Structure 1
Amino acid sequence: MSLDPILFMGGSGAIGHQTARALRAAHPDVPLLIGGRDLAKARQAAEEIGGAQGVVIDSTADDLGLGARPVSGVVVFYMDHAMAGLRYAQKRGVPHLSISSGIFEIAPEIATYMHMPDASPIVLGYEWMAGATTVATLSCAQAFIRVQEISISALVDEQDTGGPTVASDFEHLNKMLPAALTRRDGVFVWREGEDSKASFHAVDGTQIEASGFSSIDVVGLATATGASDVQFNIGIGVSSTRRQGRPMSTEIIIELAGEDLNGKPLRTRHAVVHPTGTAPLTGLSVAMLLERLLGLDGHPSTPPGLYFPYQLLDATVYLQRLRQEGGELRQLQLQ
């Protein structure tokens, strides 16, 4: 199918490159606009990606400085506090996907959507790894008739920085919201101080010190499953593969408790693992979201609405693509 270019705002970084790689693997001819404040940097990234063009983004202009240039979708890889990308996408009726906002920063996006609900599809793409966590968790939850507890523990290798923009975004999130949104006994609370400290066991069994993180995954998973207890913790250290003398990886530990399909108590433990880190896993998620939004997967394009990534990503197809990249959803022994 013929497609106008997809605009990558801030697409010159690691996640932008990995998104382009994953998208091009399935759809080699998809054109891209790599937008940024520095034209030279944007052009260099576009040249490295191939089949792309670098452009300057002016966030103060209604047309982003792009004039009448047509686009088929907008992906924002940095915190767009001005909502410039979202307003631009709505005016043109094209999909919008942002991956870098925090759970406390969704109000502007929701308000913008509420005033123009029929303009275009909008994806709140700042779940951890843009849907990798929620899609896998909900797949594991199919073994339950009732989910009571969900504990997500993300291990980020200390060598897996994701680039300066990602580091800056994390610094911003930690500064603005040191407390961690958590669900306990059916009530949403904020963990802070000593209460936010946690630990978990990595894939290889090593105990990892962690702290609570306010991920929108908590809200989505609590709503989707009805679980009364949902928490998200992050630990930064040495990944299991690197402790075994291999290159770094990223891993997400998923622990569920509740009742199985026969009503008996059940606890499970799984891990999402990607062998080359956070950027490729996030890039895969963003690429597959674009495929679904634009109908590149052979199904009708996504209608206007406000979506979590897990509402758009087919779990079976997602996990299959993850395996093709060398990753997996692995069942672990209970600790």
Structure 2
Amino acid sequence: MPLLIGSRNRERAEQVASAHGHAEGVIIDPHADDLGLGDRSIAAVAVLYTDERLASLRYAHARGIPHLGISTGLYEVAPEIAIHMQRPDAAAVVLGYEWLVGATTVATLTAAKAYARVDSIRIGALVDEEDWGGPAVAEDFERFASVTSTVLARRDGAFVWRKGDDAAFTFRAIDGTELMASGFSSIDIAGLAAVTGAADVEFGIGTGVSSSRRAGGTKSTEIIIELSGIDEAGKPLRSRHAVFHPGGAAPLTALGIGMVLERLAGLDGKPPTSSGLFFPYQVVDHANYLERLAQEGGQLMTLQSA
């Protein structure tokens, strides 16, 4: 399928496009109703930076084209949902703001299959200090930090806003190293609470040296997932898991984006996703996701409980 790579910099867009077959670099005009694309036939749209004007969503929604956004903060979703609510039958809209576009939720829901009841979910994302990405990522985190000083969590069945010392916690990396994390208002919290019914859900990001680099290798990305609840026999159960990708955060994010776009446009041989409002974990096939993760050298690991 032909791919249009839009950018604020034509030279950079064309450079990226030249490395791929059937790709073309284009400049997107957020002030134009057609984004500057004219009457091109588009199967799906993914916006990978913060689009304050919601230009890409308005473009896609007006034309009945599926849309995926990945950079909106939890507290910023209302304008996007409002657009969808005006014509909920227009096309699929995916709120792709989960950490690394589905990596956390797909893995957590897979691990949660061993539970009859999930009571607690604690997630710690380790970002290698050499793996913070480019200017768009920096802009997102700067905006998140400036807008709110509190972070979302679920405690004892209630959604609460934490701040200061109450927003911090520790978790252990894949190799057992203890890390300090800062609470993060990831939309994963809302989605996982809704699916599992867990009374306690919290999410934090820790920056440091990834387990692979500490072992003498290159940087990687890892997400630690701690679950507790009741098993099928009614006995207490605790488990600890990790999502690992040897390439870092960017290729793991790209895996989620690619699989969501395939599903939205029906590029996997199945009918395109019907209209509606979705999280990534509701769109992609979980088993297929984990297979593709393994093909890239990553994995969902079961770790020794702390």
Q: Same fold (TM over 0.5)?
A: yes
1:115 counterpart = 2:75: no
Out of 177, 181, 186, the residue aligned to residue 152 of structure 2 is 181
AA partner of residue 247 (structure 2): T
User: Mapping of 1:281-320 within 5 angstroms?
Assistant: 281-320=252-291
CA–CA separation in structure 2 for the residues paired with 1:35 and 1:322 = 26
Paired position in structure 2 for 1:67: 38
Q: SS where residue 149 of structure 1 aligns?
A: strand
Q: How does the TM-score come out when normalised to structure 2?
A: 0.98
AA partner of residue 76 (structure 2): E
Post-superposition shift, 1:174? Answer: 1.7
CA–CA separation in structure 2 for the residues paired with 1:178 and 1:85 = 29
Q: 1:256-275, CA deviations, whole angstroms, 9 ceiling, x for partnerless residues?
A: 00000111100010000001
AA partner of residue 280 (structure 2): P
Post-superposition shift, 1:220? Answer: 0.2
Superposed CA RMSD in Å reads 0.9
Q: SS where residue 30 of structure 2 aligns?
A: coil
CA–CA separation in structure 1 for the residues paired with 2:79 and 2:71 = 14
Q: 1:151-206, CA deviations, whole angstroms, 9 ceiling, x for partnerless residues?
A: 01000000002112112211111221231100000000011111111111110000
Paired position in structure 1 for 2:15: 44
AA partner of residue 263 (structure 1): G
CA–CA separation in structure 2 for the residues paired with 1:134 and 1:70 = 32
Q: 1:39-86, CA deviations, whole angstroms, 9 ceiling, x for partnerless residues?
A: 222222211334211111110111111111221111000011111000
1:275 counterpart = 2:246: yes
Aligned pair in 2 of structure 1 residues 305, 273: CA closer, same or farther (>3 Å)?
same
AA partner of residue 92 (structure 2): P
Paired position in structure 1 for 2:135: 164
Post-superposition shift, 1:140? Answer: 0.5
AA partner of residue 59 (structure 1): P
Paired position in structure 2 for 1:3: none
User: Mapping of 1:100-139 within 5 angstroms?
Assistant: 100-139=71-110
AA partner of residue 90 (structure 2): A
Q: How does the TM-score come out when normalised to structure 1?
A: 0.90
Paired position in structure 2 for 1:147: 118
AA partner of residue 139 (structure 1): T
Post-superposition shift, 1:38? Answer: 2.2
AA partner of residue 155 (structure 1): L
Q: 1:223-274, CA deviations, whole angstroms, 9 ceiling, x for partnerless residues?
A: 0000000000110000001000000110000000000011110001000000
CA–CA separation in structure 2 for the residues paired with 1:249 and 1:255 = 20
Segments ≥4 residues shifted beyond 4 Å: none
Q: SS where residue 101 of structure 2 aligns?
A: helix
Paired position in structure 2 for 1:9: none
User: Mapping of 1:195-210 within 5 angstroms?
Assistant: 195-210=166-181
CA–CA separation in structure 2 for the residues paired with 1:315 and 1:67 = 36
Post-superposition shift, 1:37? Answer: 2.4
Gaps of 5+ in 2: none
Give me the identity figure in percent.
Answer: 59
AA partner of residue 203 (structure 2): F
Paired position in structure 1 for 2:195: 224
Post-superposition shift, 1:35? Answer: 1.0
CA–CA separation in structure 1 for the residues paired with 2:293 and 2:149 = 32
CA–CA separation in structure 2 for the residues paired with 1:111 and 1:304 = 15
Answer with 50-59 or 232-241: which moved more. Answer: 50-59
1:34 counterpart = 2:5: yes
- Counting matched residue pairs gives 306
